[in-house]
């Protein structure tokens, strides 16, 4: 059986790590294209100035427009060539990170997340949008980022909701890897490189990836609440460090080399509801995880553990929590149909899944979550 595991070249996290950014730029040269939103640059301007001074490097400002579109990628690639940049830096949230991946195209790339809201920093894939913000395509590259540099002090200063959303994304990692492993489905680590270019035989997940996915879940249960409280008061503690690692590294390696299944497909289906658009990716994935557990008829103890975890950190457990109020039967079918299109990860479940199955599981997860929430709040 062909198996694959991929990862960034180096992952470094700690307080004040942005001050070492120049050191990593120097491993490629002297000039780096800095892809970051103006607000994110402003947040860390002092650290950028200090590392520039210490290591004698130059940042080429990109005036990033905020959208990861083909047009923006083309513009930035031209700027990088014109400025003779030795590497690319993606600093900020998901859009800046994905744009940097597309600009670098597998070349020297340093990712500096300023929030721990998703597991995008470590992966070799990106999501492309139109300039207006509509989904365009997925892109895959020949390499994961060269360096992922996480300054935990910066992340502790960001709103707690980002960290909690990251925990929602991480929550699905173990359950989706478990389903993918049971069904012997291919994983992202074996996907072809480039913008849908090239072909290679599918690869399954490794024992290593599955162990990391499991550790991700165990870390959430052990340190999630403590990390949330630390972030509420903007303090870096061992628990916060552990959750940042779970959200960024364990979940990133777990989803890419361990596999995606129903939780992320349900997330994609739920995006047909206008009300969900004000909620973060990980918040919707948390509810998608509950739907997956209902689909596979997970043991009651496991469902209860997940529900308790979600409520303790403030993650959604029912449709109303993600802005879906009194959906019609027709809307639920539309969401389920979108979750079940042939390309979706829901087909990595270890049994056939129909649109009807998904509608039933969404309704059941919603009812269970609402009931558990009211009992939980009462206690």
Which residue in the block uniquely carries the two structure tokens 């707690």? 160
Kindly tell me if the per-residue pLDDT of 276 is higher than 70.
yes
Of 242 and 198, the one with more pLDDT? 242
Angle between helix axes 238-245 and 160-183 (nearest 10 degrees) is: 50
- pLDDT at site 107: 96
Give the C-alpha distances (Å, rounded to integers) separating 202 from 3, 199, 346.
8, 9, 17
Kindly tell me if the per-residue pLDDT of 311 is higher than 70.
yes
Q: What's the gap between Cα 182 and its chain centre?
A: 23
- pLDDT at site 196: 46
The pTM assigned to this predicted structure is 0.95
Query: 358 — phi, psi (to 5°)?
Result: -65, -45
Please give the full DSSP string across 286-334, using - where no structure is assigned.
HHHHHHHHHHTT--HHHHHHHHHHHHHHT---SGGGGT--S--HHHHHH
Give the C-alpha distances (Å, rounded to integers) separating 322 from 90, 278, 296, 327, 368.
29, 8, 22, 12, 15
Positions annotated as catalytic residues are 169, 264, 267, 281
Length of the chain: 379
Q: For residue 34, what are the β-bridge partners?
A: 61, 89
Please give the full DSSP string across 32-95, using - where no structure is assigned.
EEEE--HHHHHHTHHHHHHHHHHHT-EEEE----S--BHHHHHHHHHHHHHTT-SEEEEEESHH
Residue 129 among known ligand-binding residues: yes
Count CA atoms closer than 13 A to 163's CA, side-chain side: 32
Residue 158, helix vs strand vs coil: coil
pLDDT confidence band for 192 (50 / 70 / 90): low
- pLDDT at site 191: 74
Residue 39 among known ligand-binding residues: no
Count CA atoms closer than 13 A to 97's CA, side-chain side: 28
Residue 94 among known ligand-binding residues: yes
Q: What is the pLDDT of residues 318-343, one digit of tens each?
A: 999 999 999 999 999 999 999 999 99
Residue 126 among known ligand-binding residues: no
Q: What is the pLDDT of residues 137-178, one digit of tens each?
A: 889 999 999 999 999 999 999 999 999 999 999 999 999 999
CB 147 within 8 A of CB 110: yes
Query: 62 — phi, psi (to 5°)?
Result: -100, -15
Q: Which domains does the chain have, with CATH numbers?
A: 10-157 (3.40.50.1970), 160-378 (1.20.1090.10)
Q: What is the pLDDT of residues 299-308, one digit of tens each?
A: 999 999 999 9
Residue 119 among known ligand-binding residues: yes
Q: What's the gap between Cα 7 and its chain centre?
A: 14
Average pLDDT over residues 78-91: 98
């Amino acid at each position: 059986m062909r198996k694959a595991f991929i990862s960034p070249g180096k992952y470094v996290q700690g307080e004040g790590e942005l001050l070492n950014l120049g050191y990593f730029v120097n491993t490629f040269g002297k000039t780096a294209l800095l892809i970051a939103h103006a607000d994110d640059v402003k947040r860390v301007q002092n650290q950028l100035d200090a590392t520039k001074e210490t290591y004698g490097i130059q940042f080429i400002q990109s005036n990033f427009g905020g959208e990861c579109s083909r047009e923006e990628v083309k513009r930035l690639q031209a700027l990088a060539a014109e400025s003779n940049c030795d590497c690319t830096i993606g600093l900020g949230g998901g859009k800046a990170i994905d744009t940097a991946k597309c600009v670098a195209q597998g070349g020297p790339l340093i990712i500096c997340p300023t929030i721990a809201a998703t597991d995008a920093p470590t992966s070799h894939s990106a999501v492309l949008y139109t300039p207006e913000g509509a989904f365009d395509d997925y892109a895959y590259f020949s390499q994961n980022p060269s360096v992922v540099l996480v300054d935990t002090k910066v992340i502790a200063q960001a709103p707690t909701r980002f960290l909690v959303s990251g925990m929602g994304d991480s929550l699905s990692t173990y359950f989706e890897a478990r389903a993918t492993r049971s069904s012997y489905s291919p994983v992202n680590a074996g996907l072809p490189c480039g913008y849908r270019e090239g072909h290679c035989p599918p690869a399954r997940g490794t024992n290593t990836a599955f162990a990391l996915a499991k550790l991700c879940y165990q870390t959430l249960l052990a340190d999630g609440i403590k990390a949330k409280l630390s972030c509420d008061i903007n303090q870096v503690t061992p628990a916060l460090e552990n959750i940042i690692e779970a959200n960024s590294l364990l979940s990133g390696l777990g989803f890419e080399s361990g596999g995606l299944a129903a939780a992320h497909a349900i997330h994609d289906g739920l995006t047909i509801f206008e009300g969900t658009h004000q909620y973060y990716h990980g918040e919707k994935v948390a509810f998608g995880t509950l739907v997956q557990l209902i689909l596979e008829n997970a043991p009651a103890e496991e469902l209860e553990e997940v529900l308790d975890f979600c409520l303790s950190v403030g993650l959604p457990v029912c449709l109303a929590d993600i802005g879906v109020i009194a959906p019609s039967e027709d809307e639920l079918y539309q969401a389920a149909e979108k979750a079940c299109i042939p390309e979706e990860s829901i087909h990595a479940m270890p049994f056939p899944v129909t649109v009807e199955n998904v509608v039933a599981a969404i309704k059941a997860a919603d009812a269970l979550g609402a009931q558990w929430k009211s009992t939980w709040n009462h206690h």
